[in-house]
Amino acid sequence: MRQNIVAGNWKMNNTLEEGVTLANEVNEILKANKPNCKVVLGTPFIHLAEVAKNVDCELVGVAAQNCADKVSGAYTGETSAAMVKSTGAQYVILGHSERRAYYGETNAILKEKTDLVLANELTPIFCIGEVLEEREAGKHFDVVKEQIEEALFHLSAEDFGKVVLAYEPVWAIGTGKTASPEQAQEIHAFIRQTLANKYGAEVANETSILYGGSCKPSNAKELFANPDVDGGLIGGASLKAEDFHGIIAAF
């Protein structure tokens, strides 16, 4: 059966010291309260090696928030998938709406990044989701379908089976507005059906599809209770160990 996952996305927050302290706090809480889901911390690049060294890898996975679309070479300021792998991290968040909006990441670029992440035996946590105008125009189904098709549908069924999806309506990210459980279930079921049409029911049923967008301890349970919501990608509420654990404890 597919895995339930709660993944934090720290974004550009926390100095190295603060980040290691937070990771250690999460680790200690989970040692005392065994989680019923996979837990992942998405840290800035500079934290990855130290966090991966400090946490119990049975309890806490570690994710980069991005990686380069090139293998190596003269790309000043970039970090390759192979470099991420060498830190001990196991996941890479790809296609976050902030990367798409502020750094021009297109589906074509994300296709390259996905291939490099998989080639380095890392797990992509691949983000999709519509902006408010697209939702209001009723285009959200088409938008997520296109994002998946253009960035991921070149993959073999075997490789697609290694991908985790995160549906994140952009209008809900960091806004305090959450998709209702019904809205989340409706589009998650649509996403799973889209996968089934391409790869068959087995691959679709094995794919974890996370929800992201103002998920917090007070609403996680009703979101995760939906049959097609397999956990969450958590921004703001992942920056405090207690809040993050409140979401993990929804499973």
- In order of 8, 52, 187, 211, 220, the CA distances from 243 in angstroms are 11, 21, 26, 17, 11
Other C-beta atoms closer than 10 Å to the C-beta of 12 total: 7
With CB atoms as reference, the residue minimizing the distance to ligand PEP is 235
Residue pair 79/45 in contact by the 8 Å Cβ criterion: yes
44 vs 213 by CB, closer to ligand PEP: 213
CB of 7 vs ligand PEP, minimal distance in Å: 9
| Residue 108 region by backbone torsions, left for phi larger than 0, else alpha for psi between -120 and 50, else beta | alpha
- Of 140, 168, 188, 245, which residue is the catalytic one? 168
CB of 99 vs ligand PEP, minimal distance in Å: 10
DSSP labels for 30-62? HHHS--SSEEEEE--GGGHHHHHHHS-TTTEEE
Q: How far apart are CA 41 and CA 39, in angstroms?
A: 7
CB of 155 vs ligand PEP, minimal distance in Å: 23
- Of 47, 96, 188, 245, which residue is the catalytic one? 96
61 vs 199 by CB, closer to ligand PEP: 61
Reply yes or no on whether 28 is catalytic: no
7 vs 48 by CB, closer to ligand PEP: 7
Reply yes or no on whether 96 is catalytic: yes
The values of phi and psi at residue 61, to 5°, are -90, 160
CB of 132 vs ligand PEP, minimal distance in Å: 14
Q: Which residues bind ligand PEP (CB under 6 A)?
A: 9, 168, 173-174, 212-215, 233-237
> What positions carry a catalytic annotation?
96, 168
